[in-house]
Amino acid sequence: MKQPHQDAAPLLPTPLMQLATGFWSFKTYAGAIDVGLFNLLAGGRELTMEEVSGELGIADRPADLLLAGCASLGLLDKSGSRYRNSELSEEYLVEGRPYYFGGFVRYLDRREYPAWQSIVQALRTNRPLTWTPGTQESLFDTEDSETLQLFWDCMYSISTFTARALATAYDFTRHTRLLDVGGGAGAFPIELCRLFGNLSATVFELPHVCDLARQKITDAKLNETVDTVVGDFIRDPELPRGYDTIILSMILHDWDEQNGRALLRKCRTALPPDGAVLICELLLNDERTGPPAAALMGMNMLVETEGGKNYSAAEYHDWLLEAGFARVEVLPLNAAGANGVVVGHVS
């Protein structure tokens, strides 16, 4: 009888424990934002647990536990008995900072976290949980303007850093006119036009989103370089013409394959012979076994959309060729919103 190797590590349920308690980290993080912990420590302030307790108006015990939890997650640093924001928190979790990330956390906490508690319902019904098809036009059709503002603010922050990653991966000096389809508040055009003086750009979006984009464009002092065009990339039969590159960032994962293929055909029709479409997404591997960020974003599409899912680069490759693009390349990205860009070249 074969004996187990004496040095073999025992199989333990530790990874399962980590998966099961993942929400502890998120809710600690979200709770700290809601009570104003990172704002309290902004600007290099260092406070003791008792001082935090007093200024936030919470008892010593929860203050002690919250500070320990946030320190364990790398959100706070501690020196002696005093806590301060970590570099990451000071940069992204203090309200008023240019790339404030707390809006995204609040959006997840208020809209998606409650819905995810009914994930079995979504698995069994194949219907979204955050809105009701048939009574609403889309997941963005809501009277909760505060939630939508949180969503667009957080998408702008994430997209800014994805745009910067894209700028290092792809050569935009070959293009002059950029169309950002479903471009939200305009992070990609603003960042790319700042980095490439040869570019001008347009955000193609729904009317109320164009309003948000125009404000961001004005704030960036790019009104002469970046503009907006109102439209609906799903319902409109064609996309605007006169652009030699089109960006689809975190767009195709919102839709089923039929709509995705149709949108790529519209892109091909709108582009000139030297044009290209750039698909920025969290891409699944060809075996559809990971990476986790892409696979779990796909699960979130089950919660948030009627037909969306995350796709692999191989799937986009086939869609692009079917749409009439001559060649396809895949470039890696290192960004929160995308791990790769699939480029479809017209020629």
Q: Starting from the edge strand earliest in sequence, which strands make up the sheet with 47-48, in order?
A: 47-48, 82-85, 76-79
Active site residue 253: yes
Is the CB of residue 205 less than 8 Å from the CB of residue 231? yes
Terminal alpha carbon distance of the chain? 64
Catalytic residue among 5, 175, 208, 253: 253
CA distances (Å), 78 to each of 38, 59, 128, 206, 222, in order? Answer: 14, 20, 42, 46, 41
CA distances (Å), 196 to each of 174, 246, 280, in order? Answer: 10, 16, 19
Question: For the packed helices 60-72 and 49-56, what is the interaxial angle rounded to 10 degrees?
Answer: 110
The residues annotated with a catalytic role in the active site are 253
